[in-house]
Amino acid sequence: MKLIRCPVIGDCPANEFVYGGPIDTVDSQTVVTTSGKDIFHIDGSAAVKSEWWYHTPSQNWFIVTRNTANDHIETVVAAEEYFHG
């Protein structure tokens, strides 16, 4: 069973977490175009990406930095801390 190290309570089974997709790299409030290109096209490459992950038992959102080439998790930071320091 793969474990994800939660900064609050330590190692937790990966299936306690729900994937929430990558964080927006562009502020969605500033995008004014209505082209489908901006809505659908994404960065589908294999790279280290920052993503939303939700820990169901403790009901906390985290920002996880993960390499999508090999599933290696580099950092797990509470969302609050990630955005507001």
Binding-site ranges for another protein (CB under 8 A): 1-2, 14-15, 18-19, 22, 35-37, 39-42, 44-46, 49, 51, 66, 68-71
DSSP state of 31: -
- Rounded to a whole number of angstroms, the minimum distance from the CB of residue 40 to another protein is 4
- Rounded to a whole number of angstroms, the minimum distance from the CB of residue 42 to another protein is 6
- Rounded to a whole number of angstroms, the minimum distance from the CB of residue 35 to another protein is 6
The token pair at 74 is 């580099």
Nearer to another protein among residue 35 and residue 85 (C-beta): 35
Nearer to another protein among residue 35 and residue 59 (C-beta): 35
Nearer to another protein among residue 41 and residue 84 (C-beta): 41
Are 82 and 76 contacting, i.e. CB atoms less than 8 angstroms apart? no
Q: Which residues pair with 4 in a beta bridge?
A: 12
Are 13 and 73 contacting, i.e. CB atoms less than 8 angstroms apart? no
Nearest to 7 by CA among 17, 20, 15: 17
